[in-house]
Structure 1
Amino acid sequence: MPVAVMAEGAFSFKKLLDQCENQELEAPGGIATPPVYGQLLALYLLHNDMNNARYLWKRIPPAIKSANSELGGIWSVGQRIWQRDFPGIYMTISAHQWSETVQPIMDALRDATRRRAFALVSQAYTSIIADDFAAFVGLPVEEAVKGILEQGWQADSTTRMVLPRKPVAGALDVSFNRFIPLSGMCFHMLFLKCFIVLSIFFVICMHFS
């Protein structure tokens, strides 16, 4: 079975994901090749689809896992993502020599993780130690500080503190929205339901008045 053709860009990575899923479904006996499993697992991580990543890891035959260390390496990255261990994600990605079919996906995953980290810091912190921030985004301190200055943030060289700038409403990276708790959404739905019930009650009262 041929390995799905490597792609560039977010749209192409989604297309590649569809190709890999189809190859697994069409594989003889439902057992795909290690390269297909590797690409598919890495792509689920890239798209922050942790449920499908976990289910895929469980259904990969143990013999294939034990014979292909790269699969275990990809899953190690997934475990760091699950734990929200941002420094661990970068470290685990850098610690492995990935195959040609997986390396571009891991590069994209590292970049996407860095964007999420920037977004999280801008939302959650009014100030953060430069070294901690650098570890959070997986960059050397000097490079991290240079990057935030270009984004309009501030940095104090005396205290070594980074002062994030709150993002414009609605301008968050799409991938960051996956981290937003559902509480706000649930409250909105509850309010909408209450409004509908009260409206119906008002109509009934008007009808019988």
Structure 2
Amino acid sequence: MELPPLTMEQLSMLVASNSPPSQLFEALTEYEQEACLMTETGGKKEVIRGDIQLLSLFYSSFFFVHLLTDQVPEARALTKRMPKSLTQQDIALQNCMTLLRAVWQTEHGQVYQILRGSPWPERLQPLIKRYESFFQDKTLISVSRSYETIRLPVAAGYLGLDQQLVEQEDPNIIANFTNCGWKWDPDTKLLHPKPIMVRPAATQPNNGIREAMGMLGSRAS
């Protein structure tokens, strides 16, 4: 089906939709050529011929959709295709590249700090929230398979949970793990992870890993 022209309204509707990341990826892939035509390069000079805000939202949205579809190397390649004259002045795209470095280096604390503390356009917030949830769930699955025992502050740090509540051993914090089948030992102050198994990607529902697991508790952050 042919997509309507790339406009701020159309792009905002896509970003705010609850469409599966794979469908968003397909749509934005089709729009990339149109976005490229908004930039003209002659010799060493690059000129933006289109709406700068539209281009910023397109490339930042496409970047997050790459992350949501677990295509980190491809997201890195996308940053190379972004218009240099735009990335040099656009805060959202600069934040994307900072986030990419943190994700690439698996710096969990920095990932949450960038997602929550950096200035992002309001229109981009739906994808940011979706990716934070995706990153938490993916990390939780990885941690569940990597540790036999783990201290609560360390486990909570992987998920970017509130450290003050962690120190208080808040039940809601602990429930993030016990709801996944982990065991909490109040005497040793240790969590005993249970490997989290997920269904194949082809059968996962639209909202990502959390729904696929079907057993995660609410996040306390």
TM-score, normalization by structure 2: 0.70
C-alpha displacement of 1:149:
1.8
Between structures 1 and 2, the one with greater helix share = 1
The match for 2:149 among 122, 127, 133 is 127
- 1:21 paired residue among 4, 9, 29: 29
Q: Select the structure with the greater relative contact order (CA < 8 A; seq sep ≥ 6).
A: 2
Map of 1:46-61 to 2, 5 A cutoff? 46-61=68-83
Choose 1 or 2 for highest CA Rg.
1
Matches of 2:28 and 2:88 in 1, distance apart?
21
Q: Which residue of 1 aligns with 2:214?
A: none
Report the identity percentage: 20
Inter-partner Cα distance in structure 2 for 1:48 and 1:72: 20
Which residue identity lines up with residue 8 of structure 1 in the other structure? S
Give the alignment partner of residue 96 of structure 1, picking from 111, 118, 129.
Answer: 118
Corresponding position: 1:86 with 2:108: yes
In the TM superposition, what whole-angstrom CA distance separates every residue of 1:17-46 from its partner, at most 9, and x where no partner exists?
Answer: 222222221236363712111111121122
- CA deviations on 1:37-96 (whole Å, 9 max, x unpaired) are 111112112212122211111121221012211111122111111111222211111111
Structure 2 unaligned blocks of 5 or more: 1-5, 40-49, 202-207, 210-221
In 1, the alpha carbon distance for the partners of 2:186 and 2:35 equals 57
1:118 aligned to 2:127? no
Which one-letter code corresponds to 1:166 in the other structure? Answer: P
Report the CA distance between 1:10 and its aligned residue.
Answer: 5.2
Aligned-partner SS, 2:184: strand
Q: Secondary structure at the match of 1:162?
A: strand
Distance 1:86 1:28 in 2: 33
Which residue of structure 2 lines up, in the alignment, with residue 105 of structure 1? 127
2:115/2:132 contact within 8 Å kept: yes
Cα separation, partners in 2 of 1:173 and 1:9, compared to 1, 3 Å? farther
CA contact (8 A) 2:180 2:196 kept: no
- Contact 2:63–2:78, Cα closer than 8 Å, also in 1: yes
Alignment partner of 2:185 out of 131, 140, 156 = 156
CA contact (8 A) 1:41 1:74 kept: yes
> How many angstroms apart in 1 are the aligned matches of 2:140 and 2:65?
22
Deviation at 1:105, TM superposition (A): 0.8
TM-score by length of 1: 0.73
Moved over 6 A (4+): none
Structure 2 Cα separation of the partners of residues 153 and 28 of structure 1? 48
Q: Aligned pair count?
A: 173
User: What residue ranges of structure 1 are gaps of 5+ in the alignment?
Assistant: 177-209
Give the AA of the match of 2:174.
Answer: V
The one-letter code matched in structure 2 to 1:125 is: Y
Superposed CA RMSD? 2.3
**From 8, 22, 44, the counterpart of 2:17:** 8
Residues 56-65 or 21-30, more deviating = 21-30
Q: What does residue 179 of structure 1 align with? A: none
Cα distance change, pair 166–19 in 1 and its aligned pair in 2 (3 A): closer
CA contact (8 A) 1:7 1:16 kept: no
